[in-house]
Amino acid sequence: MILTVDMGNTNISFGVFDGEELKLISRLATQRERTPDQYAIDFLNILSLHSISPEEIEGAALSSVVPELTNILSQAIKTLCNNVVIVAPGIKTGLNIAIENPSHLGADFVAGAVGTIANYPVPALVIDLGTATKIYAIDENNTFLGGMIAPGVEISLRALTNTSSQLPTIPLAAPPKVFSGDTVESMQSGTILGTACMIDGMLERFIEELGQPASIVATGGLSAFIINECKSDIIYDNLLVLKGLREIYLKNTK
């Protein structure tokens, strides 16, 4: 079995694959003060809950956008298995990177792009809605062309409520209509529907610059709240990055 771990600024998503079959998916909070042993205990406990022993894990792939925690999490994973592939410059991905500084490309972009190429027709546009809102493009030659990054839905909403005394904290849900006299519904409209409109508009511009139709795939923890409100034809795949990490592990160990 292969352990795949994607560490973001807010959460650590991880899964266990047995061949192409996903046996386990779970999530931990990203906490900068934790030690390798503390993370290792969490991994072991969750594996145990799903009747998976460390001896069944042949290796792992790790992507991280939190550099100060990458080594800590790698040490934790090595308590489960010795072979850990970390997404970093120099590893085999099968991805061509056509940006000015390829070494600056985030590991989550790389893993998501590899997962897209392995599972969907290219050219493709990938939407990743998490701590940040990201859209990036891959052409028909498996080349990463670049993308856009905007503040994430929760960051934007938190900034709004923290700096506006009379605006409440609201649940992430689509309102019944676009405009409303109710404060909560008005905020939901701006947050959910506004983000959906931004995504639709950016996708239109991406496709215009690509000059041809493209597959559109969405992933990330917040995609489920947003893409149903988009007018674009979008495939939702919450396992995209983990699938990409599995592919990267296989490319670097076989």
Q: Which of 108, 182, 200, 237 is catalytic?
A: 108
6 noted as active-site residue: no
Q: What is the CATH number of domain 2-86?
A: 3.30.420.40
Instruction: Give domain limits for the chain.
Output: 2-86, 96-241
In whole angstroms, what separates CA 32 from the centre of its chain? Answer: 19
pLDDT tens figures, 110-135:
999 999 999 999 999 999 998 899 99
- Residues 146-165: tens digit of each pLDDT: 999 999 988 888 888 888 88
Q: Which positions ≥6 away from 31 have C-beta within 8 Å? A: none
pTM of the model: 0.91
Domains 2-86 and 96-241 share a fold: yes
Beta bridge partners of 101: none
Fold of 96-241: Nucleotidyltransferase; domain 5 (3.30.420)
Yes or no: say if 115 and 4 are a contact pair by the CB < 8 Å rule: no
Residues 171-184 have pLDDT tens digits of 888 888 999 888 88
Distance (Å, whole) CA 212 – CA 205:
11
144 in Cβ contact with 113 (< 8 Å): yes
Please state the φ and ψ torsions of residue 125, each to the nearest 5 degrees: -115, 135
pLDDT at residue 168, rounded to an integer:
85
pLDDT tens, position by position, 32-91: 999 999 999 999 999 999 999 999 999 999 999 999 999 999 999 999 998 999 999 989
Q: Are 108 and 8 in contact (CB under 8 A)?
A: yes
pLDDT tens for 201-249 read: 999 999 999 999 999 999 988 898 899 999 999 999 999 999 999 999 9
